[in-house]
Structure 1
Amino acid sequence: MRVFVSIDMEGVAGVATLDQAVRGGTGYPRAQELMTAEADAAVRGAFDAGADEVVVNDSHGTMDNLLHAGLDPRAQVVTGSPKPLAMMQGVSEGDAVALFVGYHAAAGEQGVLAHSFSGTFRQIRVNGRPVGELEVNALYAASLGVPVGLVTGDDLVCAAASKTLPGVLTVPVKRAVGFHAATSVHPSVATERIRGAARDAVSGHARLECPPVEDTLHVEIDFTTPLACDYAMYVPEARRAGGQGLVREVGNATDLIRLISACLHLSAQATRETAAVAARR
């Protein structure tokens, strides 16, 4: 039995600020330790439930945050970026279940460090529904027939998961106080709960169902600035929607992830240009 784990950082217990979540911050090394501990807890829970193989994808930022020596040696780790499937690199058709650890709310929603893939995205909608990393990644897993059995993070992303994913288990390890603030459980409490929930999710994977995946996905991406949208318009077949919006149809969840990734990297140039100009002052 093979289990896939996607681990992000913003939803980890004890993490609440950009100083912690961005490499170079004084709090980043400690956040790495906290993230690694929660990933390890999920891995150990999966093996407790009888998994033969567990693949962990480092899904945060540059995707090379995990301290591998702190992980169960039985785990396989997908590290580095860019990756063709971003946060879902390593999941395979036939996996028993996917576990999403350290996740956060979508851009435009309340939640600790809430965003959707990039700070240049104001909102992403698929077939008219607002989505974040949770929903997009779950959609991709569903396209392979892999259900999501566990989501951990703040109370708001866990509430979103319960509404979206039938039968999913959630572990809220902190309560959102604001974008940059949270009331968190102790790291040892978080890891204990995550290990137990991962064990239960893997043990009960047969009861889970994948949400349906529609044949055509109408994707709308609203950017934070017109310049970010300008760069994203280099995507073939993209159409402009107002000053800061892009629209495109894709035929499957793989192309949805690729579209989002392409827009992320293209629109990042707008951030670099703006930062360069601001630095001159």
Structure 2
Amino acid sequence: MHVYISVDMEGIGGIATLNQTIRGNSGYPRAQTLMTLETNAAVQGAYDAGATRVTVNDSHGTMDNLLHEELDPRVRLVFGSPKAQCMAEGLDESVDVALFVGYHAPAGHEGVLAHTFSGLFTQVRINGRPASEMTVNALWAASMGVPVGLVTGDDVICGLAEQEMPGVEVVSVKVAHGWTAADAVAPSVARDAIRDGAFRAVTRAAEFTPVELPANLRLEIDMPTPLAADLAAMMPLVERVSGRAIGVDLTDPADVIGVIVVCYELASSAQRTLSSVLTRV
């Protein structure tokens, strides 16, 4: 059985601040350790339940956060960026079940460090509904015929997971008390719960079904500035929806991810341009 694990950082137990999630900050090395240990817990649970192959995708920021030398040696690790399928890179038809570890709520929603792919987007919508990274990656998994069996993170993303994927295993490692505040269980307790959740998910793999994949995927992104929207609207098929919002009609989740990735690079470029102008004023 091939198990795929996408690991983000903001939903890891013991993490709730930007000081922890941004490379170069004093809290980042500790966050790397917490992220690596929760990954190993999920890997252990998967193997204990009968997995014969586990692929882990480092899915946060630069996507080179996990401490390779500390990872369970049985895994194959996908890391680095950019990657064509971003947080879902390496998830293909050979996978039997996907596990999402360390996930978080979407942009514009309450939840610890809530955002969708980029902190610069104020909201991402698919077919008119706010979309999380979980939502987007589950659609890609569905296009490969793969169900999601486990979601871990704060209470908010776990609640959304249960709404979007009834029956999915969830492990809440913290309760959101604000965007950068949480009430969390001890890291060791979180790891035990994640190991057990992964075990249950892999044991139940045959019970899960992929999320419904709509024939049409209307993607809308609220960009941070009109300049960012200007740049994004220059892409083929992309239209301007409002002063800061762009939209595009797609059919393939791969294209949804691709447009999102390009848009956050364009949003970052626009921010740098504006910053350079402001420093000259």
Whether the 8 Å contact between 1:142 and 1:211 is mirrored in structure 2 is yes
Structure 1: how far apart are the matches of 2:192 and 2:275? Answer: 42
Paired residues, number: 281
Structure 1: how far apart are the matches of 2:148 and 2:137? Answer: 9
Cross-structure match for 2:186: 186
Cross-structure match for 2:98: 98
Secondary structure of the residue aligned to 2:261 is helix
Give the fraction of aligned pairs with identical amino acids, expressed as a percent: 53
Cross-structure match for 1:256: 256
Cross-structure match for 1:9: 9
Structure 2: how far apart are the matches of 1:12 and 1:128? Answer: 29
Whether the 8 Å contact between 1:122 and 1:222 is mirrored in structure 2 is yes
**Paired letter, 1:73:** P
Residues 1:153 and 2:167 aligned together: no
Q: Which sections of structure 2, spanning at least 5 residues, go unmatched?
A: none
Structure 2: how far apart are the matches of 1:180 and 1:5? Answer: 25
Secondary structure of the residue aligned to 2:95 is coil
Q: C-alpha offsets along residues 239-258 of structure 1, whole Å, 9 cap, x if unaligned? A: 10110110111121111111
Report the TM-score when normalising by structure 2: 0.97
Instruction: Give 1:273 shift.
Output: 2.1
Structure 2: how far apart are the matches of 1:29 and 1:276? Answer: 30
Structure 1: how far apart are the matches of 2:279 and 2:135? Answer: 36
Cross-structure match for 1:44: 44
Secondary structure of the residue aligned to 1:20 is helix
Instruction: Give 1:78 shift.
Output: 0.3
Q: C-alpha offsets along residues 173-193 of structure 1, whole Å, 9 cap, x if unaligned? A: 001010011111111001110
Q: Which moved more, 1:188-197 or 1:232-241?
A: 232-241
**Paired letter, 1:258:** G
Secondary structure of the residue aligned to 2:72 is coil
Cross-structure match for 2:141: 141
Whether the 8 Å contact between 1:7 and 1:101 is mirrored in structure 2 is yes
Instruction: Give 1:279 shift.
Output: 5.2
Cross-structure match for 1:209: 209
C-alpha root-mean-square deviation of aligned residues, in Å? 1.2
Whether the 8 Å contact between 1:120 and 1:228 is mirrored in structure 2 is no
Q: C-alpha offsets along residues 72-93 of structure 1, whole Å, 9 cap, x if unaligned? A: 1001100100001000001111
Cross-structure match for 2:165: 165
**Paired letter, 1:276:** S
Q: Which moved more, 1:155-164 or 1:211-220?
A: 211-220
Whether the 8 Å contact between 1:94 and 1:145 is mirrored in structure 2 is no
Whether the 8 Å contact between 1:9 and 1:60 is mirrored in structure 2 is yes
Whether the 8 Å contact between 1:235 and 1:263 is mirrored in structure 2 is no
Structure 1: how far apart are the matches of 2:56 and 2:8? Answer: 11
Instruction: Give 1:209 shift.
Output: 1.2
Cross-structure match for 2:267: 267
Q: C-alpha offsets along residues 54-99 of structure 1, whole Å, 9 cap, x if unaligned? A: 0000000000000011111001100100001000001111311000
Report the TM-score when normalising by structure 1: 0.97
Structure 2: how far apart are the matches of 1:111 and 1:280? Answer: 37
Instruction: Give 1:267 shift.
Output: 1.5
Structure 2: how far apart are the matches of 1:21 and 1:274? Answer: 24
**Paired letter, 1:2:** H
Structure 2: how far apart are the matches of 1:191 and 1:14? Answer: 11
Structure 1: how far apart are the matches of 2:244 and 2:269? Answer: 15
**Paired letter, 1:113:** L
Q: Which sections of structure 1, spanning at least 5 residues, go unmatched?
A: none
Secondary structure of the residue aligned to 2:240 is strand
**Alpha-carbon distance change, 276 to 164 in structure 1, aligned in 2, over 3 angstroms:** same
